[in-house]
Chains A and B, each alone.
Chain A
């Protein structure tokens, strides 16, 4: 019986975090023992493997620093001769320039996501009727005084 090959996907994991380095994320993947290919790059990682495995791994990596790790699909598998710099005589690979431009904006996007998350937490808290904590009251007073 021939077994149908599982769908293979490749993902970029772009890390713009103060806490997590690409090597930390790579170690996390090695520890997980999923049969995937990992390539460490200057901006993060390229992970390739069966769709389900990669999906689980990407979620695990994202949880390391949720708002500062970004993920997108990649068409070409890692090390593909049509894109790999080793076989093209060096220089940035096609598609790198746009990624570099976007990577510059990632710290601001991450901070905006942090703020958005904090706002959501506040609105959730407001929905529940409860006593105001002294620490929260202190924050409110400090914010008012800082104006």
Chain B
């Protein structure tokens, strides 16, 4: 199971296809969940702390707007875990949490320069294009290794040690 970065980072279609073909999608939603459901609410409503833009400094310079750095503090850790990526060009809308085009450009640049296998496809606008889109993604995902990741092994080992501890 490979960790696959997707762009647009909150895409339903891509997240579903990646999961469907047996891999783990790296999405914005999981990062947001950690932010909004953690108990220590430092700065309501979204739990963004002054530390977040500082974390973003790892990916963007100080002159860059704080919004970009704030977004990168969520997206950056995902890029670090990336083992493969699917980038969809010209998605229909670029608003909401992926609305910042500078962040999008930086994200795509970082993913491309990471040296992992990247599939770049165009957003489908007709049935034929959709067929081509799904076929390309399926072939790409099937070419990725399906072995269990190190994290799964770690989690298993931890569970086993917990069981032994209980005994």
List residues of chain A with CB under 8 Å of any chain B CB: 8-10, 12, 14, 70-77, 80, 82, 94-95, 97-99, 101-103, 105-106, 108-109, 111-113, 115-116
Interface centre among A8, A12, A97, A108 (most CB of B within 10 A): A108
Say whether A115 contacts B131, CB under 8 Å. yes
Say whether B37 contacts A77, CB under 8 Å. yes
Besides A95-B10, A102-B11, 10 new A-B residue pairs in contact (Cβ under 8 A), listed by A number = A12-B12, A71-B19, A72-B12, A73-B27, A75-B31, A95-B97, A97-B93, A98-B10, A102-B13, A109-B13
Say whether B134 contacts A109, CB under 8 Å. yes
Say whether B32 contacts A112, CB under 8 Å. no
Say whether B124 contacts A99, CB under 8 Å. no
**Interface residue from A73, A80, A101, A113 paired with B93 (Cβ < 8 Å):** A101
Which residues of the partner chain A approach B37 to less than 8 Å between Cβ atoms? 8, 77
16 interchain pairs, CB-CB under 8 A: A71-B15, A72-B16, A73-B27, A75-B29, A82-B36, A82-B46, A97-B96, A98-B10, A98-B96, A98-B98, A105-B124, A108-B131, A109-B13, A109-B134, A112-B127, A112-B131
For the complex, what is the distance from the CA of A76 to the CA of B31, rounded to whole Å?
A: 11
Our count of residue pairs bridging A and B at CB distance below 8 angstroms stands at 94
Say whether A97 contacts B95, CB under 8 Å. yes
The B contact surface, by secondary structure, is helix
List residues of chain B with CB under 8 Å of any chain A CB: 8, 10-13, 15-16, 19-20, 27-33, 35-37, 45-46, 92-93, 95-98, 124, 126-127, 130-131, 133-135, 138
Say whether A105 contacts B95, CB under 8 Å. no
Interface centre among B10, B16, B31 (most CB of A within 10 A): B16
For the complex, what is the distance from the CA of A105 to the CA of B92, rounded to whole Å?
A: 11
Say whether A116 contacts B138, CB under 8 Å. yes
Say whether B16 contacts A105, CB under 8 Å. no
Say whether B95 contacts A70, CB under 8 Å. no
For the complex, what is the distance from the CA of A71 to the CA of B95, rounded to whole Å?
A: 21
